[in-house]
Amino acid sequence: MPVSGPQLRRLAGRQDYAATQQAMRCFTDQREADTADEIWLLEHDPVYSMGLSADPAHLLDVGEIPVVKSDRGGQVTYHGPGQLVMYTLLDLSRLGLGVRDYVYLLEQLVIDLLDTFGLDAQRREGAPGVYVDGAKIASLGLKLRRGRCYHGLSLNVDMDLTPFSRINPCGYAGLPVCQLADYVAGVEVGTVGKVLSTTLIRTLESP
């Protein structure tokens, strides 16, 4: 019996990071061979997430913002209102995708999206994510369990970037961070999320 394409879920309101991570784990652990993939769109309450390889020394002055350990790859980053988070709960083995190819695919989705706004975005060798004018605008982090992945990407749309100055973003001291609203007026998380997720679903469903 054929498996249906990825299902899109929009999580209304600001989501707690730890609770969302646990929900992704449960979905991944309980899914079966014919379980449809899911894409979750959301915004998080203010939080610093520490990836599996994260060094606490990169937390400089977090103040009252909570720090949560994450089982994704990568270092420390910040999530907060005005940032689009797209979690991709996919069976990569079923899709015939390796992790490296999938990271490239996600980066390209963001690069192509930003191009529609007239922005020249790039990758950076050895530092996954997407950059505009040398500043990081999107971060990636994945977790793979038995060929199935969760977590995904975050794209700074229209948010308070100040909390990034209280850490070494992604483990890089002094790394500048930017957002789409710095270049395009009136952008909204919901609109950007719809375009990005729809493009991803179309890409995954293409032969």
Domain ranges for the chain: 7-205
The CATH number for 7-205, chosen from 3.30.930.10, 3.40.190.10, 3.10.20.340, 3.20.20.140, is 3.30.930.10
Per-chain mean pLDDT for the chain: 95
pLDDT digits (tens, 9 = 90+) for 143-180: 999 999 999 999 999 999 999 999 999 999 999 999 99
Residue numbers annotated as active site: 170
3-state secondary structure of 148: strand
pTM summary value:
0.95
pLDDT digits (tens, 9 = 90+) for 2-18: 567 899 999 988 999 99
